[in-house]
Structure 1
Amino acid sequence: MITIIAQNKISALAIARATANDNEGNRHFYGSKYFITWMTPKMIEITTPRGLASYWFRDQSFPHLPKYLTLSITTRSGKDGEPMTPEANAQLDIIKSLLAKSESIIVATDPTQEGELSFRYLYSYLHCTLPYSRAIINDLTIKGVNRAISYTMPAERYDKWYNAARLRDEADWLVGVNARRALAFAAGRGTYRIGRTSASVLKMIADRNIMVKSAEQTTERHTTVAVKDRNGNIFALHSIEPNCVTANATSEVKIISVEKNESKVRTPKLYNLINLQIDAARLFGMTPLRTYEAALRLFGRKLISYPVAAGSTVPQRKYQECRKVLEKMLSYSNYASVAMANLGFAPGRGVDKSNFGTHGIVATGVPPLVLDDDMSRIYHLIVRRMYQTFSKDAVVIRSRIIAECEGVRYQWSGESYKTKGWHTLFPDTLMDTQPVPAFTANEEVSLFSAGSYTSKTSMPEDYTDATLIEDLLAIRGTINADGIAKDIVHLESSGLIERDAWGHISITTKGRLLYGIVREMKIADICEVIKMDNLMKEVTRDKISASAYDTQIKQITRDVTAEILASAKLYPRMEEDIPCPHCSEGVMKTFGRVAMCDNPECGHYVFRQFYGVTLSHSELASLINTGSTPPIAGFRARSGKTFKAQVIINAAGNTQVVSKNKSENA
């Protein structure tokens, strides 16, 4: 027998029915060839002692940097507040029993980095040795499922997906857990659910809120001149710069230059999830989570598919399937304008090339019956984009005329079509066009009329979901698209941001308090996030070693933890200051669990809490000044036994607990 492990029960049921292995057992389906079961959300994850108050509040080492990150069953709570552990345990028992009776595994989790990571974590946690291959299930139709199960891919082909997701997950854990733990000592566990990347998004939103409130609108006066071209058509030209010079009726207007540029407007690519979320937010005010859930329901109803992975064009076979769907959809009133355009279809670009599972979303041939409002909106966007993608390019002529009158420069600009292409499919994509003035360079024409107008400078606006995602994509790149949407959802669920009736995002009172604490820290610096993103890319491309990456990530974790522990807004200063030996200019200000130099160009810090022992002021001064403490009793090993040791600063500049039987980096 072969065990197929799906992402969820809906997918497992579709696979069971498609393969005719649909006898229902306890938390699985079975037949003559396959056992089919599924995973629960975040079933196996990096061990996080969420429920242990001793971990969060009692004296332990700072920061927490285990040599090896272990895996365990999830200890999270669901949306309803109920613990997810019992459900995960029950499902895990079924998976173990099925694997014990199987010869191999087919992985049918989501064909994404996260889907690959969830299976690999499960496989590692169970210490499984069965061979496995991957099925790329892009839709839940019978044809799509059977094709994927019959033609599975070698497991090693998706090692890059797993490695990229694992590196990101481990970095999120190291930075996020230590930051939240440092905040928990001051504000209480769970008060500020800060993450490695979400703090920088919070800062971007808060900075934009401040900029909008402080912006001042100004008024500018521009002048205009109207002239006739050789064909007798009148065109108005506007001054390029603000001025108060109104042209005389007898003045001549000299045409300085006439520019015409012809450019091809390529058909847009098929939607991937992040671009679908952007347009749904812009057009319908839907949050990223609402869009994702609507798309997930469409997928479960077999209405959409995402067949294009790691390629730049749609395969001919899939294109023929899409063409049949589009021809069928012409009978719907929503697409009457497409039928009138009568452009015909041609294979077009699908998505950008990617080694990390970028997908183009398309509609299947299943009739879209009885959809809720959100599903209907998302389905319409997907079908609309398919028509546009498989249409013809538009060719636009952009014209610009520069003229001068009484020392003031004026301009006219406009657009016209050479071929309208995909712009004719839907009325809202057509541009307003104007005839091109019949002028030549260095020509002098008579002034027909002159005037002026005042305009106000445009005011910045608070972020919406669409503009925030677009800015984050521009900063971090499309490879991090999934994480960007999750950060916004996380900030909302944590009560740190809110939206007004127009979809503008602002930070809440709780968000402002957190922003006031972290705004100058590394954890809220988007450049530090990009730095970590680049480190992960270097590892996946074998440009730096895993050990070098581990060293740098742990150093970033130390820096982030030290900044939070040294925040005067969270922790009161303790004993006397100690001169900084690192820069000789600042002083080491001492707090409860760290001492940090007050020279911003230095920022040197030393932790003072190790294995349940907090260094006294004299011991801390000895460590800073001489590089070691006297022997100290009372250190508590993880086994519970106490031991005597010294704390030293090693050659790498990190603190280390050294005893005859134990040596640990702290």
Structure 2
Amino acid sequence: MPNLIVTEKPSTAQSISKALGITKRRTGYLEGGNYLVSWCVGHLVELAPPGSYDSKLVKWSRADLPILPKTWQYLVSPGTQKQFEVLRSLMARPDVDSLICATDAGREGELIFRLVYHQCKCKKPFTRLWISSMEDAAIRDGFAHLKPSTEYDALYKAALCRERADWLVGINATRLFSCLYGQPLNVGRVMTPTLAMTVSREAAIDTFGPDPFYTVLLKMEDCMASSERFKDKSQAEALLAECRKASQAVLQKTERKEKTEHPPALYDLTSLQRDANRLLGYSAQQTLDYTQALYEKKLVTYPRTDSRYLTEDMEPCLPDLVRQTAFHFGVTGEIPIHAKQVINSKKVSDHHAILPTRSMANADLSSLPAGESHVLRLIAARLLAAVGEPYRYAETTVQMECAGTVFTAKGKTVLAEGWKAVERAVLGDTAEKDKEKLEILPEVQERETMSVLDAQLKEGKTSPPKHYTEDTLLSAMETAGKEELPKEAERRGIGTPATRAAIIEKLVKKGFLTREGSGKTKNLIPTEKGRALISVMPEEIQSPAMTADWEQKLLQIERGELDPETFMDEIEQMVASLVQTSEAVKGASMLMKNNGKIVGVCPHCGAEVAEREKGWFCTNRECRFVIWKDNAFFKRLGKHITGQLVDKLLRDSRARLKDCKSQRTGKTYNAAVQMTTEADGRAQFSLEFENGGGKT
């Protein structure tokens, strides 16, 4: 009796099949030995839209809010129906008596499998494959130690709560505020608080008033010394004049402190994304994509982790991995290995920190795409640094007196390069530069007199807060709500390592944020549309603290410490209260004026048609007329819709097209497209052939 293995992607199914010696290819699955291996294609099963619960909910009306399903409905995604049917038929096979869930070992992977399992009405028992590496040995070991499905029931409940909470907030808040302000306004449980943080930062920058300050600098034979800051320029100028007269300074005190900078922890996904953004200029999504590709190529371990440590059972194998990694990246000489620095089982939840794998030693890294290669170097460098020696340096501070005022000079001497030398050996020019100036101060005795060669006045200004970059926004998302949550709360912040990149990308794609600036690292700046949205959002929707509290509760559900119904009740009460109490903000019509460029008149109802992000829409919310930019009818003709074409269709309901391409023969032809509308306003298109060939 074969076991059915269900993976998240075809590539994972291929890797598992190879490790288990499964070679027979079938339509939508593989077969061999005692196994059938099939796959999902991302989310095969999704929450049904509001119209599935009641046909009147197809139209957006505040009177129909809040939408709070009593029994949740799910649908199979239209584009993945074929693969869903493959899985359903395999689950129903009489000779299949049990299943193995082999989707990604995390919250979303658990959800993907279970939704398909339930949608197929499958009742057969299943076990769980839980691995952190796609190496053949790790896969085989995972199958030798399959986990009971019941160990992950709480993880599934947390995933369901996350999905349904996002749906409730997104559907209700988006419809509510879109109706209040007469235009589509995308609102999300995590997306909106993230946007609010960037808007708040820009407001602080906009209102910042720089304060000038002045310092006097003394140039000595071997160093520069600085006075304290003066707000009053005349005071600084008076001191400058006195110092020039004095022309010498008397040493008061010398202090030398030896300091240690311990090796950094290993990477979790967020810290890797932050470094890749700061050092390489990659977006969080790019870094996740590159790391996921490396994982599927068996070159690194599971990327969607929030741990920066390894478990105790991994300690004996670590020295070999470190030596292999050093050799592979050309690090010569004796490599110190302090394994215990990265071992802490208590700080590992679902997955340990990201590591290069042993398979990397046999891989041709020169064939990797540049992005994957650079990210792999970061991960390798971090492993070697994390088990390395401390970086040690001596900091010397010299205080001297001139014209009755204390001046200070600082110097720094490196005593041991430690882990920084190893990091530089792997990363080269990419490595983080030491920002402190290495200045060796002269050996001087107290009360010794030093000649002042020159004295200068230096003017500076206080700096405004910095714009968010992907690096700093990820950090802010990770620590949001830290002050409000209890100290023992393990997961502070909004979003998870697995979702934060997608949230930032969505904000950019929806036109709420833009990436601006030259060089590798771009600033994330809220657009006028983004600022306007936050200006009308109530506190409970834009509060990072509330969303961070929800993330902590999801973690508690995951651990079986909180009842899922209690969490969902809180979400439903918040949504109901929001619908009941929200009113349009006075004067917001000016803020929310960006309804899109008016391009013509609706052929169905006579209202204005406006161009927006995804198409040309009738501005009458009761009318369903739209010409989508990604229009399947015109795609089949090999044509892109342009503003000029839309203008012609709106004026004449007809437009001539040249060089249309037949999908069947590949030949080109000329035709006219005719546009009509259905009873509810939806646009319909047909072709009139110029050679008299009729319509289609």
Q: Which residue of 562, 572, 576 corresponds with 1:554?
A: 572
C-alpha distance in structure 2 between counterparts of 1:113 and 1:402, whole Å? 57
TM-score (norm 1): 0.73
Count of aligned pairs: 547
User: What is the CA deviation profile of residues 197-254 of structure 1, one whole-angstrom value per residue up to 9, with x for unaligned ones?
Assistant: 1111112222333333444444322012356xxxxx7332212322502243548756
Tell whether 2:132 aligns with 1:130: no
User: Which residue of 2 is the match for residue 109 of structure 1?
Assistant: 103
Alignment of 1:474-493 (within 5 A): 474-475=479-480, 477=492, 480-493=496-509
Return the letter of the residue paired with 1:221: Y
User: Which residue of 2 is the match for residue 278 of structure 1?
Assistant: 274
Pairwise CA distance, 1:472 = 1.7
Pairwise CA distance, 1:453 = 1.8
User: Which residue of 2 is the match for residue 264 of structure 1?
Assistant: 260
Pairwise CA distance, 1:371 = 2.1
C-alpha distance in structure 2 between counterparts of 1:544 and 1:380, whole Å? 41
Tell whether 2:350 aligns with 1:347: no
Pairwise CA distance, 1:469 = 0.9
Is the 2:309–2:343 contact (alpha carbons within 8 Å) kept by the matching residues of 1?
Answer: yes
Alignment of 1:261-410 (within 5 A): 261-306=257-302, 312-313=309-310, 315-330=314-329, 335=330, 338-339=331-332, 342-347=334-339, 349-350=341-342, 353-357=347-351, 359-363=353-357, 364-365=360-361, 366-410=363-407
User: What is the CA deviation profile of residues 272-322 of structure 1, one whole-angstrom value per residue up to 9, with x for unaligned ones?
Assistant: 222222122212222222222222222232322239996833613542452
Is the 2:195–2:534 contact (alpha carbons within 8 Å) kept by the matching residues of 1?
Answer: yes
Tell whether 2:114 aligns with 1:120: yes
User: Which residue of 2 is the match for residue 624 of structure 1?
Assistant: none
Return the letter of the residue paired with 1:475: A
Q: Which residue of 52, 57, 60 corresponds with 2:59?
A: 57
C-alpha distance in structure 1 between counterparts of 2:469 and 2:325, whole Å? 32
Return the letter of the residue paired with 1:498: T
Is the 1:109–1:115 contact (alpha carbons within 8 Å) kept by the matching residues of 2?
Answer: yes
C-alpha distance in structure 1 between counterparts of 2:44 and 2:586, whole Å? 39
Q: Which residue of 125, 131, 142 corresponds with 1:148?
A: 142
Is the 1:225–1:447 contact (alpha carbons within 8 Å) kept by the matching residues of 2?
Answer: no
Percent same amino acid at aligned positions? 21
Tell whether 2:463 aligns with 1:458: yes
Pairwise CA distance, 1:470 = 1.6
Return the letter of the residue paired with 2:227: S
C-alpha distance in structure 1 between counterparts of 2:285 and 2:549, whole Å? 27
Pairwise CA distance, 1:111 = 1.4
Is the 1:298–1:375 contact (alpha carbons within 8 Å) kept by the matching residues of 2?
Answer: yes
Q: 1:351 to 1:567 in 2, by over 3 A?
A: farther
User: What is the CA deviation profile of residues 335-368 of structure 1, one whole-angstrom value per residue up to 9, with x for unaligned ones?
Assistant: 4xx32x6434442544871424353232433222
The answer for unaligned runs of 5 or more in structure 2 is 482-491, 591-696
| Corresponding residue SS for 1:530 | helix
C-alpha distance in structure 1 between counterparts of 2:589 and 2:60, whole Å? 16
Q: Which residue of 70, 94, 99 corresponds with 1:67?
A: 70
Alignment of 1:549-588 (within 5 A): 549-562=567-580, 564-568=582-586
TM-score (norm 2): 0.70
User: Which residue of 2 is the match for residue 48 of structure 1?
Assistant: 49
| Corresponding residue SS for 1:305 | coil
Return the letter of the residue paired with 1:86: Q
C-alpha distance in structure 1 between counterparts of 2:393 and 2:42, whole Å? 48
User: What is the CA deviation profile of residues 607-655 of structure 1, one whole-angstrom value per residue up to 9, with x for unaligned ones?
Assistant: xxxxxxxxxxxxxxxxxxxxxxxxxxxxxxxxxxxxxxxxxxxxxxxxx
User: Which residue of 1 is the match for residue 609 of structure 2?
Assistant: none
C-alpha distance in structure 1 between counterparts of 2:464 and 2:548, whole Å? 29
User: What is the CA deviation profile of residues 399-452 of structure 1, one whole-angstrom value per residue up to 9, with x for unaligned ones?
Assistant: 444555445443333333332211112164564433356467xx4342421433
User: Which residue of 1 is the match for residue 536 of structure 2?
Assistant: 517
Q: 1:542 to 1:505 in 2, by over 3 A?
A: same
C-alpha distance in structure 1 between counterparts of 2:343 and 2:507, whole Å? 29
Tell whether 2:34 aligns with 1:18: no
C-alpha distance in structure 2 between counterparts of 1:472 and 1:40, whole Å? 29
User: Which residue of 2 is the match for residue 444 of structure 1?
Assistant: 447
Q: 1:466 to 1:391 in 2, by over 3 A?
A: same
User: Which residue of 2 is the match for residue 29 of structure 1?
Assistant: 30
Tell whether 2:523 aligns with 1:504: yes
Is the 2:155–2:558 contact (alpha carbons within 8 Å) kept by the matching residues of 1?
Answer: no
Alignment of 1:584-599 (within 5 A): none
| Corresponding residue SS for 1:237 | strand
Return the letter of the residue paired with 1:323: V
C-alpha distance in structure 2 between counterparts of 1:544 and 1:271, whole Å? 29
Return the letter of the residue paired with 1:109: T
C-alpha distance in structure 2 between counterparts of 1:362 and 1:409, whole Å? 52
C-alpha distance in structure 2 between counterparts of 1:354 and 1:224, whole Å? 51
C-alpha distance in structure 2 between counterparts of 1:162 and 1:292, whole Å? 23
Return the letter of the residue paired with 1:235: C
Q: Which residue of 519, 531, 548 corresponds with 1:530?
A: 548
Return the letter of the residue paired with 2:325: L
Q: 1:342 to 1:434 in 2, by over 3 A?
A: farther
Pairwise CA distance, 1:562 = 3.8
Pairwise CA distance, 1:164 = 3.6
User: Which residue of 2 is the match for residue 585 of structure 1?
Assistant: none
C-alpha distance in structure 1 between counterparts of 2:133 and 2:251, whole Å? 59
C-alpha distance in structure 1 between counterparts of 2:506 and 2:514, whole Å? 12
C-alpha distance in structure 2 between counterparts of 1:532 and 1:234, whole Å? 57
Q: 1:527 to 1:305 in 2, by over 3 A?
A: closer
User: Which residue of 2 is the match for residue 139 of structure 1?
Assistant: 133
The answer for unaligned runs of 5 or more in structure 1 is 76-82, 228-232, 573-666
Q: 1:38 to 1:103 in 2, by over 3 A?
A: same
C-alpha distance in structure 1 between counterparts of 2:70 and 2:394, whole Å? 62
Is the 1:21–1:33 contact (alpha carbons within 8 Å) kept by the matching residues of 2?
Answer: no
Tell whether 2:413 aligns with 1:416: yes
How big is the alpha-carbon RMSD for the aligned residues of Structure 1 and Structure 2?
Answer: 3.4
User: Which residue of 2 is the match for residue 630 of structure 1?
Assistant: none
Tell whether 2:211 aligns with 1:206: no
C-alpha distance in structure 2 between counterparts of 1:404 and 1:542, whole Å? 65
Alignment of 1:222-237 (within 5 A): 222-225=215-218, 234-237=222-225
Pairwise CA distance, 1:179 = 0.7
Tell whether 2:176 aligns with 1:176: no
C-alpha distance in structure 2 between counterparts of 1:398 and 1:155, whole Å? 56
Pairwise CA distance, 1:493 = 2.4
User: What is the CA deviation profile of residues 139-184 of structure 1, one whole-angstrom value per residue up to 9, with x for unaligned ones?
Assistant: 3332232222222233344445334433322322222221122134
